[in-house]
């Protein structure tokens, strides 16, 4: 259910904040429906990048000159903004990474290699992105752990009864996607977390898709780790964050070695820095970290509830329209989902759908969406995926529906 107190957004005004949308592709006005892959960037984010490089480009933390101090202050202000965005208890629980994938690998290497051993079990779901499968497989190969999978039903919901059967005293880590990038399913992560904690297991959430659509409160969720990427929330690419409970992060070893993550280095022994810095070796992606604060400010200004209400209206409108198209089947009809529609069409390959829609100026995603095991679960090679953001409109959905009818006419 959407909150009843949200404000109605001025979508045309919002669209003017995103200059990339004002262009023609193959002679047609651009319709951008690939937001689950990456969102477009508002002018405030673009200007923040330019202002950093034009005005105060410098390395951070160790410099004592004016530019270094200004860059450091802007860099650390983003850490505070992220703390508030996800409601972390302490600012030092926010670690800057290169994105969700990097964050998951950090936990696999820094936590998994130290605390997991032969026979220990890791639980994931059948709808995971490859970035939340492969790092755990690598850890299992190295440490002798066992990977277990929560199945998904025909609608796209996790089968929680089967999850409960997988849990045992051998369960050491549960790592699940909060929102599926391929199905749009919003998973009941609070229930998953609580049940895992009953067995003493730590829980990691892949929040890549959830972070732009849902209010995030890591304290209320009680997750041990939470990862997300800036480019999914109207921010720059190559920038993300990992939240971890301070007591867990303090017990972990660093992921990488180098500058910044140390207190003292001798040839005999190195002592590590405090969190979060012991996980931030080397010169970071300073400009993109700084600009991420502007992305968070943009979301906060619009209001998460208003964004969610608009996107939900688009989802309902598109679902009704697309279900009326002969031969089209939506993959993923969970009761709780975000604004993602993945579909297949009888007798037409998903790549052909994407190519024809592109010629009509409509950008969608085709393929397995880095969820090959999930595609196999549904007996398909891939889908066409349309994913909506705050700047999208019902008129654009009408163009998508018209485009799909054009595909059917051309291909059948």
Q: Which of 272, 300, 328 is the last residue of a domain?
A: 300
Question: ∠ CA 294-90-272 to the nearest 5 degrees?
Answer: 100
Whether 1 is in a domain gets the answer: no
Question: Which parts of the chain register pLDDT below 70?
Answer: 1-5, 259, 262
> What is the pLDDT, as a whole number, of residue 3?
41
The residues annotated with a catalytic role in the active site are: 370
> What is the pLDDT, as a whole number, of residue 4?
45
Q: Are residues 216 and 140 in the same domain?
A: yes
Q: Are residues 284 and 378 in the same domain?
A: no
Domain containing 73 equals 46-300
Q: Are residues 158 and 238 in the same domain?
A: yes
CATH of residue 93's domain is: 3.40.640.10
Q: Which of 260, 275, 300 is the last residue of a domain?
A: 300
Q: Are residues 161 and 57 in the same domain?
A: yes
> What is the pLDDT, as a whole number, of residue 139?
98
Q: Which of 300, 321, 342 is the last residue of a domain?
A: 300
> What is the pLDDT, as a whole number, of residue 281?
85
Whether 208 is in a domain gets the answer: yes
> What is the pLDDT, as a whole number, of residue 2?
40
Whether 218 is in a domain gets the answer: yes
> What is the pLDDT, as a whole number, of residue 265?
72
CATH of residue 308's domain is: 3.90.1150.10
Domain count, the chain: 2
Whether 16 is in a domain gets the answer: yes
Q: Are residues 77 and 98 in the same domain?
A: yes
> What is the pLDDT, as a whole number, of residue 5?
61
Q: Are residues 352 and 309 in the same domain?
A: yes
Question: ∠ CA 354-356-362 to the nearest 5 degrees?
Answer: 70
Q: Are residues 282 and 330 in the same domain?
A: no
Q: Are residues 116 and 215 in the same domain?
A: yes
Contact 323, 164 (CB under 8 A): no
Whether 5 is in a domain gets the answer: no
> What is the pLDDT, as a whole number, of residue 352?
97
Whether 2 is in a domain gets the answer: no
Query: pTM for this structure?
Result: 0.96
The full DSSP string for 287-349 is HHHHHHHHHHHHHHHH-HHHHHHHHHHHHHHHHHHHHTSTTEEEE---SSB-SEEEEEETTB-
Whether 280 is in a domain gets the answer: yes
Cis (ω within 30 of 0) for the bond into 287? Answer: no
């Amino acid at each position: 259910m959407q909150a009843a107190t949200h404000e109605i957004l001025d979508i045309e005004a919002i669209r003017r904040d995103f200059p990339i949308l004002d262009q023609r592709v193959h002679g047609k006005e651009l319709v951008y429906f690939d937001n689950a892959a990456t969102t477009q960037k508002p002018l405030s984010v673009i200007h923040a990048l330019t202002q950093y490089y034009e005005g105060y480009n410098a390395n951070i933390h160790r410099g004592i000159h004016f530019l270094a101090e200004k860059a450091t202050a802007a860099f650390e202000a983003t850490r505070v903004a992220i703390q508030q965005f996800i409601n972390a208890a302490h600012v030092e629980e926010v670690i800057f990474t290169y994105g969700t994938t990097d964050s998951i690998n950090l936990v696999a290497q820094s936590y998994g290699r130290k605390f997991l051993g032969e026979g220990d079990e890791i639980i994931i779901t059948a709808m995971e992105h490859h970035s939340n499968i492969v790092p755990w497989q690598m850890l299992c190969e190295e440490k002798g752990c066992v990977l277990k999978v929560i199945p998904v039903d025909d609608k796209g919901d996790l089968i929680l009864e089967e999850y409960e059967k997988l849990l045992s005293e051998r369960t050491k880590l549960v790592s699940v996607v909060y929102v599926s990038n391929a199905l749009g399913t919003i998973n009941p992560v609070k229930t998953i977390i609580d049940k895992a904690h009953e067995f003493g297991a730590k829980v990691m959430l892949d929040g890549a898709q959830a972070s732009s659509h849902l209010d995030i409160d890591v304290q209320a969720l009680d997750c041990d780790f939470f990862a997300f990427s800036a480019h999914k929330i109207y921010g720059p690419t190559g920038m993300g964050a990992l939240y971890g409970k301070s007591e867990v992060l303090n017990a972990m070893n660093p992921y990488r070695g180098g500058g910044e993550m140390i207190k003292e280095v001798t040839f005999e022994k190195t002592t590590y820095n405090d969190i979060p810095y012991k996980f931030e070796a080397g010169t970071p992606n300073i400009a993109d970290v700084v600009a991420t604060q502007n992305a968070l400010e943009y979301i906060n200004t619009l209001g998460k509830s208003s964004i969610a209400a608009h996107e939900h209206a688009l989802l309902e409108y598109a679902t009704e329209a697309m279900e009326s198209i002969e031969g089209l089947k939506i993959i993923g009809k969970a009761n709780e989902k975000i604004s993602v529609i993945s579909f297949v069409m009888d007798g037409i390959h998903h790549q052909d759908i994407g190519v024809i829609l592109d010629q009509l100026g409509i950008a969608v995603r085709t393929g397995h969406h880095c969820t090959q095991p999930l595609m196999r679960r549904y007996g398909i090679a891939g889908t066409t995926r349309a994913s909506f953001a705050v700047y999208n409109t019902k008129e654009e959905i009408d163009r998508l529906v018209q485009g799909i009818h054009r595909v059917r006419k051309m291909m059948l």
